Amino acid sequence: MDAYEDVNDTYEQFFAKTCPARTTVGICELLGGAAVTVEGYSYSTCSVTMTHLLR
């Protein structure tokens, strides 16, 4: 959580108009010494789904 403001500033650079929803959780340590972990969701009106792309 010490770097929350830095991560928030960077996040806003990539999503300047409408930022997607996100979750922030403070923990002691991430796997492999990672600084952050990102979870993402998307919405599309395209008829091709990830299931089709993964086949």
Strands (E), 1-55: none
Which of residues 47 and 31 earns the better pLDDT score? 31
Per the CB < 8 A criterion, the answer to whether 4 and 11 are in contact is no
- Please state whether the predicted TM-score (pTM) of the whole model is above 0.75: no
Phi, psi of 14 (to 5 degrees): -85, -25
**């991560």: which residue's tokens?**
7
pLDDT-based confidence at residue 28 (cuts at 50, 70, 90): confident
The residue ranges of every structural domain in the chain are 4-53
Indicate the average pLDDT of the chain: 76
